[in-house]
Chains A and B, each alone.
Chain A
Amino acid sequence: EIVLTQSPEFQSVTPKEKVTITCRASQSIGSNLHWYQQKPDQSPKLLIKYASQSISGVPSRFSGSGSGTDFTLTINSLEAEDAAAYYCHQSSSLPWTFGQGTKVEIK
């Protein structure tokens, strides 16, 4: 099983700041890494697919990068509505796995 380790687990950020969340895979997964946003009491929502590909309707301040074992989700100029938990997910090999999540709080 591929283990995904996210850091940090919690981040308290001021609006307009830049947020960086990392996801490290226990083995190489190419670009088969996707990011989700989950707001309180909502289902997860796809943010970024294949490490860096944007999703229609997702604000351009969200971007992703990386390949192999190290990946990054960046939120440029954080907005209040971005308060949420963020998860990475790998589709390289079964069983599909998720990172433990990063909670972003707005100061």
Chain B
Amino acid sequence: QVQLQQWGAGLLKPSETLSLTCAVSGGSFSGHYWSWIRQAPGKGLEWIGEINQSGSTNYNPSLKSRVTISLDTSKNQFSLRLNSVTAADTAIYYCARGYTYYYDSETYRCNFDYWGQGTLVTVSS
């Protein structure tokens, strides 16, 4: 059973950098994409970005200038950094597996089938 365990600082001041890490256990790190998704208080879900085992990344254009997602394959971990945070970045941040499969030289992107427990990050002066 795949499990995602995430951690990171929960209280930041404006202009600081958000940093979260997600550890993957119980399954293969390779072959899938690994995403960060956030949810502002009382709001819906917003996809932030993703990375695969090769280090290939995709980011939401709305956050791209401030986001970096990286990975440590030796530890089966991937991380999120979000620069210059403001109160608008206050949210629960989730890591999740984006199930991916390959067929006939094509890559098929699917759903988010495993999620971390979520980390509340509050930005306040």
**Inside 8 A of B45's CB, which chain A residues have their CB?**
36, 44, 87, 89, 98, 101
B-side contacts of A34, CB under 8 Å: 110-112
Q: B residues near A, CB below 8 A?
A: 35, 44-47, 58-62, 94, 98, 109-113, 115-118
For A98, the closest partner residue in chain B by CB is B45
The tally of CB-CB contacts under 8 A between chains A and B is 53
Residue on A with the closest CB to B64?
A: A95
A60 cross-chain contacts in B, Cβ below 8 A: none
A98 vs B45: C-alpha distance when bound (angstroms): 6
**A33 to chain B: closest residue by CB:** B111
Knowing A43-B94, A91-B110, say if A98 contacts B115 (CB, 8 Å): no
Complex Cα distance, B46 from A97, in Å, reads 7
A→B interface (CB under 8 Å): 1, 32, 34, 36, 43-46, 49-50, 87, 89, 91, 94-101
Chain B minimum-CB-distance residue to A94 = B58
CB of B44 within 8 A of CB of A89, answer: no
Asked, given contacts A43-B94, A43-B115, whether A91 binds B109 with beta carbons under 8 Å apart, the answer is yes
Task: Tell me whether B111 and A97 are in contact (CB under 8 A).
Answer: no
With beta carbons under 8 angstroms apart, the residue of A36, A49, A87 that contacts B110 is A49
**A101 near B44 (CB under 8 angstroms)?**
yes
Residues in B neighbouring A46, C-beta threshold 8 A = 111-113
Residue of A nearest to B46 (CB): A98
* B35, B45, B47, B110: most-surrounded residue (chain A CB, <10 A): B45
Q: Which residues of A contact B47 (CB under 8 A)?
A: 95-98
15 contacts between A and B (CB under 8 A): A34-B110, A36-B112, A43-B117, A43-B118, A44-B45, A49-B111, A50-B111, A87-B45, A89-B112, A91-B111, A95-B47, A96-B35, A97-B47, A99-B44, A100-B44
How many angstroms from the CA of A33 to the CA of B98 in the assembled complex? 13
Say yes or no: B111 contacts A89, CB within 8 Å. yes
Apart from the given pairs A34-B112, A98-B46, 13 other A-B contacts in the complex at a CB distance below 8 Å: A36-B45, A43-B116, A44-B94, A46-B112, A89-B45, A94-B58, A95-B58, A95-B59, A95-B60, A95-B62, A96-B47, A96-B109, A97-B47
